[in-house]
Amino acid sequence: MDLYYDPIVDEHVSSPMGLMAPVWYLAPQRPDVARSAWELAVTVAGLDGDHPPTPEAPGLLADPGFASLLAMQTAEFDDGTVKDRIWAVLDGLHEPTVDDDLGEHVYGFGLGEPHPRGQLNARVMAGWACTPGAWSRIFTQPADDRFDEPTVVGVDFPDVALSEARWDGTALHLAGRARNASLAGGRTSLSVTGLPADGTWTLVRPDGTVEPVDAAGGWASFDLTVDGAHQELRPT
């Protein structure tokens, strides 16, 4: 099966793993075909058997390309045993590395490279973050008003990342995380655009205290507590 076609040079680039690589593209369009291909890969890798791969005997999961691709795709179809078995091998074999100062968790994959391999790590992290069906829903159940809803801007990334930024139709739910312990518990400034009403809004902090936030032209700026706890911006 073609992974992609380049019309400029009239070149069909075939998938290096048959149906395995296109599963991510097939999932929203032909979920039956995508699931069949994924199930075949799971079976071939022994992940659904009585003797699954381990860090000491990883089998096909020794290959970083295959392991990372399967990890990414598994998120679309499984959140149980198969996913747990894949991550047991990833964490036991593929050099998980945590840098507390940088706030980074990456896999080295035994490549001996000075910088983490971006594509392989992106696959694994997508697999870790996604839940079954989440990828397909982006395409099959699009939120038509997603570009008109309130949007958070001006986040001080990478010192601060948002683990939650969700508009429920009335209130904006937020949670900020610091890149390392030295920044945790502080505050960071950010803004929100596209608020449906001007005037005074209320920011509810993790400890239950509230602060007024003024909005004008759909725009509001305020400080967010960076401790991972849920905070909420809602109309007064």
Instruction: Encode pLDDT of 102-135 as tens digits.
Output: 889 999 999 999 999 999 999 999 999 999 999 9
- pLDDT above 90 for 19: no
Q: How many domains does the chain have?
A: 2
Distance (Å, whole) CA 150 – CA 147: 8
Do 26 and 133 fall within a single domain? yes
What pLDDT does residue 69 have? Answer: 94
Do 83 and 174 fall within a single domain? no
66 within domain boundaries: yes
Let me know how long the chain is.
236
145 within domain boundaries: no
106 within domain boundaries: yes
| Torsion, CA 126, CA 129, CA 132, CA 134, rounded to 10 | -80
- Write the CA distances from 131 to 85, 134, 168, integer angstroms: 16, 6, 20
Report the percent of the chain where pLDDT is more than 90.
84
For the chain, count helices (H), then strands (E). Answer: 6, 12
Strand stretches in the chain, DSSP E: 2-6, 11-14, 96-99, 104-107, 151-153, 160-167, 172-178, 187-193, 199-204, 210-215, 220-225, 231-235
Domain, as residue range, for 160: 151-235
Token pair of 171, please? 């209130």
- pLDDT above 90 for 147: no
Do 85 and 158 fall within a single domain? no
Do 108 and 225 fall within a single domain? no
Token pair of 129, please? 């973050």
Region 57-70: mean pLDDT is: 96
Do 14 and 114 fall within a single domain? yes
The closest alpha carbon to 129, from 181, 81, 75, 92, belongs to 75
227 within domain boundaries: yes
The closest alpha carbon to 41, from 60, 63, 64, 65, belongs to 60
146 within domain boundaries: no
**pLDDT tens column, 165-222:** 999 999 999 999 999 999 999 999 999 999 999 999 999 998 899 999 999 999 999 9
The closest alpha carbon to 69, from 141, 13, 115, 117, belongs to 117
CATH number at residue 173: 2.60.40
Q: Are 230 and 176 in contact (CB under 8 A)?
A: no
